[in-house]
Every structure is written in C-alpha cells, then in structure tokens.
Amino acid sequence: MRKYYYFLNLKMLIFASKIILKLNDFIYSGHESPIESVSFSWSAPSNIALIKYWGKKEPQLPANPSISFTLNNCKTETTLSVEKKNNDDTNFSVEVFVDGKLKEDFKPKILSFFERIVLYQPFLKEYHFKIETHNTFPHSSGIASSASGMAALALCLMSLEEAQNLEMTSDFFYKKASFLARLGSGSACRSVESEVVVWGKNKSIKGSTDLYGIPFPYKIHPKFINYQDTILLVDKGTKQVSSSVGHSLMDNHPFAVHRFRQAHQNLEKITESLTTGNLDDFISIVESEALTLHSMMMTSQPYFILMKPNTLKIIEKVWEFRKETSLPICFTLDAGANVHLLYPEFVKGEIINFIENELTQFCENNSYICDSLGLGAYQFSI
Ligand code: DP6
C-alpha cells in the first residue's frame, strides 16, 4: 500500500513539473499579509548562455529560446529583511546595501523591478524592504551581476510569499521565482534551479515557455558533468552597451528573422550534443553562437564592436591549441570582451597550463576566474 502511494506521489511530482504555467497562474490571490517582520537569505548563481538570448519584446519576453550553463562560484548572496509598514503609504519603501554600504544608485532599478512585479505580489506595497547584497566575484570584473542579483532577490520575495501561503508547492515556488526574476532581467530566469536551463518556447523541448526558465528536461551526458568555465578577464570595465540597448538593436535588424530561426535550430542541435556527448558538435554550435551574437551587434544600426584586440588573440590561440592537441576546449562570449573557456573536467590540468602559459598575458592584470557547472540557487541562514 505504502509503495503504491510512493509511486502515486512520484507520478504526481513528475506530472507537476511538466505542467506549463500561464501568466494568470502567477497572479497573487491572497489577501492582507499576516507577516509582521521576517528575513530571508538566498544565494543565486550567474549563468553563461550557450544559445544566446538577444532580442526581446514586452514584457521582457525573449525573441528566441536560449540555453545556459549555471555557474558554481560566481554568485550573488542577498538577505531581504521586511517590516510591515504602520501607515497607508502606497509607495514602495526600499533600501539597498551593497557590501554593507547604502547604495542610492541601485534603488531605481529595484523600484522599477517592483513596479513590474507588483501585479504578481501586491503585498510589496505593505512592507519596508531592506536588501543587503554581495557578489562573490569582483565588481570590476566585467561580469554582469544582473542575472544572479535579480534571481537572488526574486527568490527572497518568493520566500516571503510562501510564508503567507504555506500550501505552495516547490514546483510553483521555483517557476514563479524564475518568472519574477525574468521581469527583472531576462537571463536571470536561468539562474534559479538546475545545472542546465532552457528559457523560451521551442517545439522540441518539453515544457519550454517564454515565461520562465525550466531545467533542461533530458539527462546530460557524463562528459558534461562538472564542465569547466574559465573566465578570462580581458576588459574589467563596465559594459560599453547596456543589455537593454543591445536587445533593442535586434528590433528592425535586417538579419533578425533569420537569426531567431537559427537559434531554434541551434537549440535542437545542442540538445542532441548535450545528451549524446558529441563534443565536436557542441564546440561548433557554442562558438558559432558567440560569433553570431557579436556579428549581430556589428551589423545593427548603430553598430558596435564589443571585442577587444586581446579577445581575438585569445580566440586564435584557442583554435591553434585545439588543432595541435585535439583537446575539446571552446570559447563563448557575452556582450563584451571577456572570454569564457568551456571544457570537460578530465582535461582541466592541460587547459589550466595552457591558460597560465599562453593566455593570461591577454587578460587585464593577468586575471581570470575558475568556475564550473553549479546546481542552482540555495537558501542560507545568517
Ligand atoms: C548576451 O538578461 O542582461 O548575455 O533582459 O535586458 O536584462 P535584460 O538582458 P540580459 O541579456 C543577456 C544577453 C546575453 C546573452 C544571454 O545571456 O543569453
């Protein structure tokens, strides 16, 4: 009998995770919030896209599907402390502390995030929020913290919602956290749970949706377990083109329609490589995606070159090294000059030697960050 219930529960769990939630499912239906004061802490990772999200429509919906590796070491740790307001003030009340210092300049971003999500969490107006946040990677590293930062905050807000609705399922908790994070920064919805995350509807990925990220629904080949990502810091400055400006370059871009179609095809191809372990195909799709992202920026109006001479030197060295050694290393790029080197754990020794001997000379102050595939966000206590 017990066994029967176990299977029934397991079946219900699998069924629940396959349900695609719709926009209205995320609208909060509770009433007055009963919580007076509480705090929650979440750590959320950064992620690196293999198939790139580039181009969006309102409200922060992707023009094409994307897939990413979740990182393990580069993350944001956030503590959210809330106090119920004792007045009828209907404005949001927020203070943001970064590394222990009050940051007025971070406030507008949080306020516009709250504005976007208040429909889904109306209780945001009932509290004063103190947000204390810290990144494990240096501020001046050229690594964007919006994905990990928005994901950590969305998870804290979901903990607050869960405290008011104890019947919430964990499936709903994570889906809504990803949904809210997406409204803060698109790629943040891929920083919530699981090692490999798909965001954006694609006909061959079960459960995929534009509204939130989902764990890659197939088993990844053992070659990808603990896959490495070494980030070469070519340019530690802030982004030359902000994400919002960058995405808007895809509106009326002459190659947009073709690019969006290609992203669907590349997602289907990379799904195959991730499940079969075909590293040659994986490498060629990942590098082509990175170069396509940059070529979209080079051919938009206005146009930009976001690589630096040292980015190209590194790419050439990687190609030379791969030809000589046949080791499965490849690069990918964000919308900037830094280079992410992706490779399986079993070649780590050789690759780190190569980086130390031949690539650090192209990095600002010889700096690089070693990271690898991580499991997703987690709650912690302080
Ligand atoms: C090049 O998620 O930073 O890193 O939705 O405007 O916040 P917003 O953009 P953002 O864009 C990330 C773009 C990218 C590719 C990717 O991560 O898929």
Give pLDDT, residue 13.
46
Give pLDDT, residue 34.
82
Q: Do residue 151 and residue 266 come from a single domain?
A: no
Atom of ligand 1 nearest to the CA of 188: 2
Q: How far apart are CA 200 and CA 274, in angstroms?
A: 18
Give pLDDT, residue 29.
77
- Assign residue 253 a region (left: φ > 0; alpha: ψ between -120 and 50; beta: otherwise): beta
Q: How many angstroms separate the alpha carbon of residue 12 from the centre of ligand 1?
A: 34
Q: Do residue 59 and residue 207 come from a single domain?
A: yes
Atom of ligand 1 nearest to the CA of 51: 18
* Number of residues that make up the chain: 382
Q: Do residue 35 and residue 170 come from a single domain?
A: yes
197 located within any domain: yes
What is the dihedral sign for C-alpha 42, 158, 25, 149? negative
Give pLDDT, residue 7.
40
How many domains does the structure of the chain reveal?
A: 2
Q: Do residue 168 and residue 281 come from a single domain?
A: no
Q: What is the CATH number of the domain that holds 274?
A: 3.30.70.890
269 located within any domain: yes
Nearest Cα to Cα of residue 21 among 251, 138, 238, 177 = 177
289 located within any domain: yes
pTM for the model: 0.94
12 located within any domain: no
Atom of ligand 1 nearest to the CA of 60: 5
Q: What is the 3-state secondary structure (H, E, C) of the chain?
A: CHHHHHHHHHHHHHHHHHCCCCHHHHCCCCCCCCCCEEEEEEEEEEEEEEECCCCEECCCEECCCEEEEEEEEEEEEEEEEEEECCCCCCCCEEEEEECCEECHHHHHHHHHHHHHHCCCCHHHHHEEEEEEEEECCCCCCCCCCHHHHHHHHHHHHHHHHHHHCCCCCHHHHHHHHHHHHHHHCHHHHHCCECCEEEECCCCCCCCCCCCCEEECCCCCCHHHCCCEEEEECCCCCCCCCCHHHHHHCCCCCCCHHHHHHHHHHHHHHHHHHHHHCCHHHHHHHHHHHHHHHHHHHHCCCCCCCCCCHHHHHHHHHHHHHHHHHCCCCEEEECCCCCEEEEECHHHHHHHHHHHHHHHHHHCHHHCEEEEEECCECEECCC
**Which residue CA neighbors atom 4 of ligand 1 most closely?**
334
Q: How many angstroms separate the alpha carbon of residue 318 from the centre of ligand 1?
A: 25
**Which residue CA neighbors atom 3 of ligand 1 most closely?**
243
Atom of ligand 1 nearest to the CA of 147: 2
Q: Do residue 186 and residue 75 come from a single domain?
A: yes
14 located within any domain: no
Atom of ligand 1 nearest to the CA of 185: 7
Find all residues with CB under 8 Å of 152, minimum gap 6, and list them: 42, 43, 44, 75, 76, 77, 78, 133, 377
Q: How far apart are CA 91 and CA 51, in angstroms?
A: 39
CB atoms within 10 A of CB 364: 19
pLDDT in tens, 236-282: 887 788 988 999 999 999 999 999 999 999 999 999 999 999 999 99
Expressed as residue numbers, the domain containing 106 is 22-218+375-379
Q: Do residue 200 and residue 282 come from a single domain?
A: no
Q: How many angstroms separate the alpha carbon of residue 186 from the centre of ligand 1?
A: 6
**Which residue CA neighbors atom 12 of ligand 1 most closely?**
187
Give pLDDT, residue 333.
97
Q: What count of Cα atoms within 13 Å lies in the side-chain half-sphere of residue 132?
A: 10
Query: For every one of its 382 residues, what pLDDT tens digit does the chain have, with 9 covering 90 and above?
Result: 334 333 444 444 445 556 899 999 999 877 667 899 999 999 999 999 999 999 999 999 999 999 999 999 999 999 999 999 988 888 999 999 999 999 999 999 999 999 999 999 999 999 999 999 999 998 767 777 899 999 999 999 999 999 999 899 999 999 999 999 999 999 999 999 999 999 999 999 999 999 999 999 999 999 999 999 999 999 988 778 898 899 999 999 999 999 999 999 999 999 999 999 999 999 999 999 999 999 999 999 999 999 999 999 999 999 999 999 999 999 999 999 999 999 999 999 999 999 999 999 999 999 999 999 999 999 999 8
**Which residue CA neighbors atom 7 of ligand 1 most closely?**
185
1 located within any domain: no
Q: How far apart are CA 191 and CA 212, in angstroms?
A: 11
Q: Do residue 26 and residue 162 come from a single domain?
A: yes
Nearest Cα to Cα of residue 325 among 361, 358, 288 = 358
Give pLDDT, residue 202.
98
8 located within any domain: no
What lines the ligand 1 site, CB under 6 Å? 49, 52-54, 60, 66, 144, 146, 185-187, 243-244, 247, 293, 334-335
Q: Mutate which of 50, 52, 53 to test ligand 1's pocket (most atoms within 8 Å of Cβ)? A: 53
Atom of ligand 1 nearest to the CA of 47: 17
Q: Do residue 337 and residue 235 come from a single domain?
A: yes
Q: How many angstroms separate the alpha carbon of residue 347 from the centre of ligand 1?
A: 29
**Is the preceding omega at residue 59 within 30 degrees of 0, hence cis?**
yes
Give pLDDT, residue 296.
98
**Which residue CA neighbors atom 5 of ligand 1 most closely?**
186
Q: Mutate which of 54, 241, 243, 247 to test ligand 1's pocket (most atoms within 8 Å of Cβ)? A: 243
Block residue for tokens 């993350």: 75
